Structure 1
Amino acid sequence: MIEVRGLTKRYGEKIAVNGLTFGIEPGKVTGFLGPNGAGKTTTMRCILGLDYPNEGTVTIDGKAYQDAAYPMREVGALLEAKAVHGGRSAYNHLLCLAQTNSLPKRRVGEVLELVGLTEVAKKRSKGFSLGMSQRLGIAATMLGDPKVLMFDEPVNGLDPEGIVWIRNLMKALAAEGRTVFVSSHLMSEMENTADHLIVIGRGKLIADCTMQEFVAGASGASVRVRTPSTDQLVRVVSAKGATASIDDDGAIEVRGMTTEEIGDLAFGEGIRLHELTTIRASLEEAFMELTADSVEYHADAPGHQATTTIGSGV
């Protein structure tokens, strides 16, 4: 388990993380979201002891990362896939990591097979594509068979097959009872992967909840209704305080009422329904709405004069 308590990190006058508190529990995939400059990378670096907080504490299974006797056996982390000596082969890169962490040599072959790099194990990593480098980074993350895993943009550079693979891998690792913490800007992929979300903006916590709770908290939820009595249904739901609009295909979009409320109302009024479907906001829509006040960079649409709020990308 990862516990962050009152974490504050400053770089000069810039406050990258401001009193952040949250916990990452095992057995689920926890997504870490936030606009550019929100403090996600700084937070992950503080968790791994790469940066030291000005205030607050960060512990992994009750102790600081730097106090771990064999770090790779306890925590696996992928922060920068290209952070590899280009002159080394994939095999030698992993072998060096294994030897410096007292890990058995056989683990090198096992993780290479896990990530699909066995056939290129002897090739120098400087010739690897971004997707191959990403797989090598994931192999290094898994080398110590750790209970806690952290991934920063794990699908970056992967093809569709690779994206499905890493998605299923993270889910499988969580199902084994491991702690899986993943940061990504790809909302569609996070929506398919994460069970729980930590959302921050300008270094502060915005949300700590399940995926379903986060999406439900957005105002984008509506109900799609099809009926031969369109005008009548619009009148009765409007009388109850809901808003209703008619789409181009004749369906009614109702906001402010649930499917159950609409169904009961229609039954009481003798209105026959052909469709009654809840349309929830996507994760992307919920994210854009709930983090709107935390975005540091704003650009107008093409053809308009751009306006930018300058801020740090920490």
Structure 2
Amino acid sequence: MIEVRGLRKNYGAKVAVDDLSFTVRSGQVTGFLGPNGAGKTTTMRMILGLDTPSAGIATVRGKRYVDLPRPMRTLGALIDAKAVHPSRTAYNHLLCLAQSNGLPKRRVAEVLGIVGLDEVAGKRAGKFSLGMSQRLGIAGTLLGDPEVLMFDEPVNGLDPEGIRWIRQLMRRLAGEGRTVLVSSHLMSEMALTADHLIVIGRGKLVADSSLRDFVEESSERTVLVRTPFVDEFARLLLANGADVRTDQAGVLIVSGMDSIEVGKLAAADGVVLAELTPQRTSLEEAFMELTRDSVEYNVDEGVA
């Protein structure tokens, strides 16, 4: 379990993380989301002891990372996949990590096999593609067989097969009862992977909830209606208290009524419906709506 309590980080006058508190629990994949500049990586670095908090504390299984007796056996982390000596082979990079952390040599070959790099174990890391570097970084997180894992943008540079692989890996690790925290900009991937979401904006906590609750609470519920009698049915819906808008294809988007209420109203008035579909907002749409005021740089504002 990871616990963050009252965490704050100042860089001069800039507040990168502002009184942030949350808990990452075991047995589930927790997505760590936020716009660029929200403070996600800074928070992860403070959890790892790479940055010192201006206030507050972050603990892993009840202890600060720097106080863990065998840190790689407790927490495996991927923050920067390219933070590898370019002249070292993949095998020697992992061997160095293993030896410096009191881990058995055999574990190097095991994790290379897990991430699919066993055939390039003797290749220098500086020659790796971004996707291969990500796999090597993930191998490093698994080296100590830790109970807690933390990934910052783990799917960067991976092809669709690689993305599917890391998704299955994280689900499997969580299924084994481990704590998994993953930051990603790919909302579609988080929708398939995460059980729980922690969302921050401008260094502050915006949401801490299950994926389902986040989408439902952050979105407007609407019903899509297709009918040959667009104008007539729109007036009828408005007269019965619904909000109605029409898209470019002449489809009615109804809010303020659920699909059953819309269907009953159409049946009572003899209106033929070609389609009646409840609309489910995507994670990306819910995220954009909730974090709209937390975006540091908004392209719609133009350039001065």
TM-score range, shorter chain: over 0.9
- Describe the SS at the equivalent of 2:177: coil
Q: Is the 8 A contact 1:220 1:285 kept in 2?
A: no
Is 1:306 the equivalent of 2:298? no
- Describe the SS at the equivalent of 1:26: coil
1:232 shift after superposition = 4.4
- Stretches of structure 2 that go unaligned for 5 or more consecutive residues are none
**CA RMSD of superposed structures (Å):** 1.8
- Equivalent residue for 1:79? 79
- Equivalent residue for 1:312? none
Q: Distance in 2 between matches of 1:171 and 1:145?
A: 16
- Describe the SS at the equivalent of 1:15: strand
Is 1:259 the equivalent of 2:273? no
Is 1:97 the equivalent of 2:97? yes
- Equivalent residue for 2:106? 106
Q: Is the 8 A contact 1:225 1:253 kept in 2?
A: yes
1:173-199 CA distance string (max 9 Å, x none): 111111110111122222222121111
**Would the alpha carbon gap of residues 248 and 37 (structure 1) be closer, same or farther in structure 2, given more than 3 Å must change?**
closer
Q: Which amino acid aligns with 1:166?
A: I
- Describe the SS at the equivalent of 2:299: coil
Q: Distance in 1 between matches of 2:259 and 2:6?
A: 41
- Equivalent residue for 1:282? 282
Per mean C-alpha deviation after superposition, the further-off stretch among 171-180 and 185-194 is 185-194
- Equivalent residue for 2:135? 135
1:114 shift after superposition = 0.8
1:106-162 CA distance string (max 9 Å, x none): 211111111110110011111111111010000000111111110000011111111
Q: Is the 8 A contact 1:200 1:207 kept in 2?
A: yes
- Equivalent residue for 1:125? 125
Per mean C-alpha deviation after superposition, the further-off stretch among 239-248 and 24-33 is 239-248
Q: What TM-score, normalized to structure 1?
A: 0.91
Q: Is the 8 A contact 1:7 1:21 kept in 2?
A: yes
1:218-272 CA distance string (max 9 Å, x none): 3454211234554443233212322223344443211222223323433444545
Q: Distance in 2 between matches of 1:41 and 1:124?
A: 27
- Equivalent residue for 1:57? 57
Q: Which amino acid aligns with 2:106?
A: R
- Describe the SS at the equivalent of 1:190: helix
1:202 shift after superposition = 1.0
1:102 shift after superposition = 1.7
Q: Distance in 1 between matches of 2:214 and 2:133?
A: 33
Alignment of 1:35-54 (within 5 A): 35-54=35-54
Q: Distance in 2 between matches of 1:165 and 1:66?
A: 31
Q: What TM-score, normalized to structure 2?
A: 0.93
Q: Which amino acid aligns with 1:96?
A: C
Q: Percent identity?
A: 65
Q: Distance in 2 between matches of 1:293 and 1:254?
A: 26
1:41 shift after superposition = 1.0
1:282 shift after superposition = 2.0
Q: Distance in 1 between matches of 2:190 and 2:218?
A: 17
- Stretches of structure 1 that go unaligned for 5 or more consecutive residues are 308-314
- Equivalent residue for 2:202? 202
Q: Which amino acid aligns with 1:87?
A: S
Alignment of 1:241-260 (within 5 A): 241-260=241-260
Alignment of 1:115-264 (within 5 A): 115-264=115-264
1:42 shift after superposition = 1.0
- Equivalent residue for 2:29? 29
Q: Distance in 2 between matches of 1:97 and 1:15?
A: 34
- Describe the SS at the equivalent of 2:23: strand
Equivalent pairs counted in the alignment come to 304
Per mean C-alpha deviation after superposition, the further-off stretch among 19-28 and 249-258 is 249-258
Per mean C-alpha deviation after superposition, the further-off stretch among 235-244 and 98-107 is 235-244
